[in-house]
Amino acid sequence: MANLLSQGSSIWRMDTSVSPNAYSEIGQVMSISGPDGSASEIDVSNLASTAKEFVIGLPDNGSVSLEVSFDYASATANHDTLITSRTAQTLDTFQIRLSDSPQTTMTFTAYVTQFSLSLGVDDKVGATFGLRISGGVTFA
């Protein structure tokens, strides 16, 4: 099995303002974390049980976090579209593309729930965007 490098991976957002709809890359991304989901444990133990018994509940596909070198004015970074989606509370379609060939993708719908600027002495203007996944994640 080959080791897969992070370099060359990317995240894309479905642009529904164009026809036909097309993915637009979110630029200047330094790191992507997630999906980080889990599923609840439902206790189904009863008086006849000899040990705790569980079934798994619905999967919660969690969140994705993006750390970016922030550039609101850049048409190719698409940071402004993420802020607009957050303000409008829009459910958007995203796709994480890994660096392998053929390319592995993870497609999901999510709300932009977080935007946080990061400013520091002798540093770039950074930002973190949080995406809350709603529904499933499709791997292809």
Any idea what the CATH number is for the domain that residue 114 is in?
Answer: 2.30.110
Number of domains in the chain: 1
pLDDT single digits (tens) 42-94: 999 999 999 999 999 999 999 999 999 999 998 889 999 999 999 999 999 99
| Residues 92/109, Cβ–Cβ less than 8 Å | yes
Instruction: Give pLDDT tens digits for 98-130.
Output: 999 999 999 999 999 999 999 999 999 999 999
Give residue 125's domain range: 10-35+60-139
Q: Considering the domain boundaries, does residue 3 fall inside one?
A: no
pTM of the predicted model as reported, rounded to 2 decimal places:
0.90
Sorted by sequence, the CB contacts under 8 Å of residue 33 that are 6+ apart come out as: 64, 65, 67
Q: Is residue 48 part of a domain?
A: no
What's the rounded Cα separation, in Å, for the pair 70 and 139? Answer: 28
Rounded Cα gap, residues 118 and 66, in angstroms: 13
| Residue 52 included in any domain | no
